[in-house]
A and B are shown apart, each in its own frame.
Chain A
Amino acid sequence: MLELNDVHCVIGKHAVISGVSLQIGEGELVCLLGANGAGKSSLFKTISGLITPTQGTIEFEGRPIHKKNPEKIVKLGVSLCPEGRKLFPRLSIRKNLMMGAYTRYREKSQTAKTLREIYELFPILEERADQEAGTLSGGEQQMLAIGRSLMCKPRLLLLDEPSLGLAPLIVKKIMETIEGINRGGVTVLLSEQNASMALSISSRGYVLENGHIVLEGTARELAGNEEVKKAYIGA
């Protein structure tokens, strides 16, 4: 479904992604592990078109997307729930969600249906529908960010550290939600520093270090790997 081939990115003068290749099959839930500054967010921004790679190719469902603008990539069915959430803080929760469906303006009734699904997934968003997004708590904002990125009905969802800064209980709920979204048929690529949590819900994973993929394998293999344990699980 998604295939990266020898992707390189340079920001300023720094090579932040150096030759990343990876594949994700339809329906998979794959995690991307890596420490601070490993390049996870940069890789996600590259896939969704915010950064243009200097070399290499990215294909989504067989189509090259590495030269496309973010709005084209969203239309094709790839949605990023970004680090820092990037919500519209002074728009209401409802308007934030409706903006998530910006590309689907021709399908009014379908969009309304998706909105109901999001409200079922996160009832708090419906209760606070008219409240400004900036007034939500961190966990609620993360739910809104995930909700917004689902409003475009993506086939591939990229989640950049959805657990960052959240209490363990909320992290658990978010992880369960992500599993549910994946079971509902959405392919998911999830980046995390919280490796044990991420590996517990994914089937496969990649480890990113300094812009390189240094390790890949099934979730079980990675969870059992001594280096992963030392670096990311703290065992």
Chain B
Amino acid sequence: MSFFLNQMVIGIQLGSQYVLVALGLTLIFGILDISHFAHGHMYMIGAYLLYIVMVLGGVNYWLALVICMAALSIAGVVVERAVYRPLRGQPHINSFIAAIGLILVLETLVRGIQPDALRVPKPIDKNFSFLGINMEVQRLIVIVGAIVFIILLQVFIKRTRLGTAIEAMSQDREGAALVGINVNRMSALTFAIATALAAVAAVFMAPLAFVSPEMGSVLVLKAFVIVVIGGLGSMKGAILGGYLLGILEALAIAYISSAYKDVFAFGVLIIILAIWPTGIFGGRD
């Protein structure tokens, strides 16, 4: 029983990073109708920035979190402005190719500067036990931290004027322009928020894994599957789908084999997609 509980907690922790990354993707998709495949590489940049600020700069972990979020939100605005905005109104393939270009640029750049994988120390390098669950404190930080940011995002979208404007724009872009919402400013804001969430995921996860130039590639693919499963543009769907994938993976590692975890997890997701072709929450929310 405690083994099962342990795996569930690991699943939720894996899912936490998926949710944070998938939420950004689904927000961007809802607002701009683009598949921002370079989002995982922004996550990677976030992890390297953490290394620079915390390991090289000697800054406290939590302050480093704030710095990485701020820096990445600015980077997100720059990406929207420089890469995607010039392509607005053009066929989807154009922004897709732009995203691939951005991926290549970022990955090559980082690899050129630092070819080896790096390690970031855990801010609290301890284990703890609770109800038969034994795990590292860092995993708890990931789980609780993700929940905090998910709630903050929900409050922002549902309860503030700017958040509602983002939601309105994702439902009708022309209607949004007609009530006076500045659609360019909202696009920039959405990118800033989404990329800051990727930074949060990176800062939380980096102490548990290696920091490497390709760390975002598989993650972004998984996040995309989650976004599709959850229903394109749906935040509820991204949250549910992210945790679901994390738990499926953890159970597969425990009961099948860690080599086949992706096969099992994606197999289940494909079945879900066959049952609900437009995702669990087909319409956006």
Interface residues of A (CB under 8 A from B): 48-50, 69-71, 74-75, 79-80, 82, 85-91, 95-96, 98-100, 102-103, 105, 148-149, 151-152
Contact = CB atoms under 8 A, between A and B. Distances in A.
A86 B181 contact: no
B179 A100 contact: yes
Given A90-B284, A98-B164, A99-B165, A82 B174 contact: yes
Given A86-B172, A87-B172, A95 B164 contact: yes
A74 B167 contact: no
Interface centre among B164, B171, B172, B285 (most CB of A within 10 A): B172
Nearest to B169: A88
B178 A91 contact: no
Contact of A50 (B171, B178, B181, B284): B178
Given A99-B164, A99-B165, A102-B161, A90 B178 contact: no
B68 to A, nearest CB: 31
A23 B172 CA distance: 31
Contacts of A95: 164, 168
A90 B234 CA distance: 11
9 contacts: A49-B177, A69-B177, A70-B178, A88-B167, A88-B172, A90-B284, A91-B171, A102-B180, A149-B178
Nearest to A133: B171
Nearest to A70: B177
Nearest to B174: A86
Given A85-B175, A86-B175, A91-B164, 16 more contacts: A50-B174, A69-B182, A70-B178, A71-B180, A74-B178, A82-B174, A86-B172, A87-B175, A88-B168, A90-B284, A99-B181, A100-B179, A102-B161, A102-B179, A102-B181, A152-B180
Contacts of B177: 49-50, 69-71
A74 to B, nearest CB: 4
B283 interface: yes
Contacts of B165: 99, 102
